[in-house]
Structures are given as C-alpha cells and as structure tokens.
C-alpha cells in the first residue's frame, strides 16, 4: 500500500445501507431510519452529517461502529492490513479487532463505570488486553497529558467521572479516544457541552487528526465549529431521498 493510495483509498464506504427497527414489543411496528444510504470517507477528510434530528445521523455512526446492526447494504471499513472488512457480515471478533486498531467512537454520553478513576478510564485503550504497548505508568502519563490539554483539573484525575459535569464527562470521552489514534474517528456531537475555550481545543485536535490522515465522520450541532473542521457535508434528508 503506497502512501499515495493510503490517502486516496477510502477508509469507510457505506453502500445501499438501510436500517429498520422491528419493535416486537410494540405490535411488531417497523421503524425505518435509514434507506439506501451511501457514503464514502477518505483519510484526512472530516465529513459532517447534517440535518434535523430524527433523520438517522447518530444511527449512521453507530452502524459504522458496529453498535447497530444494518438491515441491508454494506459497510466497508479498511483494516490495518489494507483490506476492506464488511461490518455487516463480520464476526464479533473481527469487529472487536477493528475497534481496537482501526476505529474510535466518541458517543454523546459517557457510559460511566463505577470506581474507575478518570485517569485510568483515559489510559485504558493503551492497556487493552495485555497489548503491552506501554507500561501502566507510561499510559497514565499520556492520559495526564490529554487531561491537561482538555483542562480537567488534576484534583479530579483520581475520581471516577460519575459526579463530573456533562462537559467534563465529554472531555474524558474525547481524551479516551484521542489517546490512541486510529485511522477512522466517529464523533457524535463532540463539543455539545463544552465552553468556548475547550471547544477551540477540540477544534485544534480535530484539525491535527485530519493532518495525520485520520478519516473523520461527525455530527456537529454548532455551525461555527463545523466551519472550522469540516471538509464536506452530507445532509440527511427525509427518507425518500437519502443520498
């Protein structure tokens, strides 16, 4: 894989992607959220999913991450070997591997794990499954660097984030994904709870990531933020015309 092709070969491709929810408990109501959706995402791009709420923007991110299961269509993610893996057909193991090495997802809400200190939550991706990329001490050092950059006071580092403010939790979430850069980054409203100063930091972080060749797919509620980071917008329309 040449440097050139690495940057022109897409990181993510969604083809004819459809998602229906079949709600068995509500008289088997079928809810179509996405239909025949197409998307190509290249390294270094930051593509924005825009549109009114309820149009399936978060769903697209969750499908890309494997958090939701597609009803039909393809989701192709490039793995570390340069091969495309179809998420819709991949084994659980393959998806876990992709999540470890190829994609990161910053959800809107931090799922709080009781008792684990903020610094350890951020350091965790570096220590996963005895990967032994770094020692525990080094991982914590890097976590400290990110926490500092995102202005989390040191007094909070040893505390579990359960009692943190929404903005603080969001920054923990971001640090946790950025500490271990992966070629595909999925961002769901990354600055929603942040003040202007921290918002600017996140803008810088996204910009740096793009320069490093990371492919980003995101939802940004704030147009002024989008203006700074986004290279292309895909607007999600009501279902008849999703392109």
Partner 1 sequence: MTGFETQQPLMRVQGLSCAYGARTVVRDISFDLWPGEVLAIVGESGSGKTTLLHAVAARHTPNAGQVYFDLRDQGLQEIYGMSEAQRRMLARTDWGFVHQNAADGLRMNVSAGANVSERLMALGQRHYGQLRAKAMDWLERVEIERNRIDDRPNTFSGGMRQRLQIARNLITQPRLVFMDEPTSGLDVSVQAKLLDMMRTLTRQMNLAAIIVTHDLAVARLLAQRMMVMQNGQAVEMGLTDQVLDDPQHPYTQLLVSSVLQP
Interacting residues with partner 1 (CB under 8 A): 21-25, 62, 66-69, 92-93, 95-97, 100, 113-116, 127-131
Q: At closest approach, how far in Å is the CB of 199 from partner 1?
A: 28
Is the Cβ of residue 48 or residue 57 nearer to partner 1 in the bound state?
A: 57
Is the Cβ of residue 132 or residue 240 nearer to partner 1 in the bound state?
A: 132
CB 113 within 8 A of CB 121: yes
Tell me which H or E stretch contains 208: helix 196-211
Q: What angle do CA 154, 155, 156 make, to 5 degrees?
A: 90
Query: Two tokens at 179?
Result: 């500490």
CB 229 within 8 A of CB 207: yes
Q: At closest approach, how far in Å is the CB of 66 from partner 1?
A: 6
Token pair 């940057």 is found at 7
Query: Two tokens at 86?
Result: 């179809």
Q: At closest approach, how far in Å is the CB of 14 from partner 1?
A: 16
Is the Cβ of residue 4 or residue 93 nearer to partner 1 in the bound state?
A: 93
Is the Cβ of residue 31 or residue 148 nearer to partner 1 in the bound state?
A: 31
Q: At closest approach, how far in Å is the CB of 162 from partner 1?
A: 11
Q: At closest approach, how far in Å is the CB of 106 from partner 1?
A: 14
Q: DSSP code of 214?
A: -
Is the Cβ of residue 32 or residue 227 nearer to partner 1 in the bound state?
A: 32
Query: Two tokens at 243?
Result: 């392109």
Is the Cβ of residue 19 or residue 48 nearer to partner 1 in the bound state?
A: 19
CB 175 within 8 A of CB 126: no
Three-state secondary-structure class, residue 22: strand
Q: At closest approach, how far in Å is the CB of 152 from partner 1?
A: 21
Distance CA 4, CA 8 (A): 6
Q: Identify which of 241, 202, 220 has the alpha carbon closest to the alpha carbon of residue 233.
A: 220
């Amino acid at each position: 894989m040449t440097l050139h092709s690495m940057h022109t070969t897409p990181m993510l491709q969604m083809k004819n992607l459809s998602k229906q929810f079949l709600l068995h408990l509500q008289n088997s109501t079928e809810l179509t959220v996405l239909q025949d959706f197409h998307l190509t995402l290249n390294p270094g791009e930051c593509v924005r999913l825009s549109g009114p709420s309820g149009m399936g923007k978060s769903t697209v991110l969750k499908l890309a991450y494997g958090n939701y299961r597609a009803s039909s269509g393809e989701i192709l993610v490039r793995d570390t070997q340069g091969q495309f893996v179809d998420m819709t057909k991949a084994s659980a193991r393959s998806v876990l591997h992709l999540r470890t090495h190829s994609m990161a997802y910053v959800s809107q809400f931090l799922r709080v794990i009781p008792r684990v200190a903020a610094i350890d939550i951020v350091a965790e991706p570096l220590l996963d499954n005895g990967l032994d990329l770094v020692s525990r001490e080094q991982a914590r050092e890097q976590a400290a660097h990110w926490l500092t950059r995102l202005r989390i006071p040191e007094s909070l580092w040893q505390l579990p984030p359960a009692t943190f403010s929404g903005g603080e939790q969001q920054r923990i979430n971001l640090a946790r994904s950025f500490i271990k850069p992966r070629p595909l980054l999925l961002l769901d409203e990354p600055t929603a709870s942040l003040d202007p100063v921290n918002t600017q930091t996140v803008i810088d972080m996204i910009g740096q990531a793009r320069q490093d060749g990371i492919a980003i797919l995101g939802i940004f509620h704030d147009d002024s933020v989008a203006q700074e980071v986004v290279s292309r917008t895909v607007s999600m329309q009501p279902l008849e015309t999703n392109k």
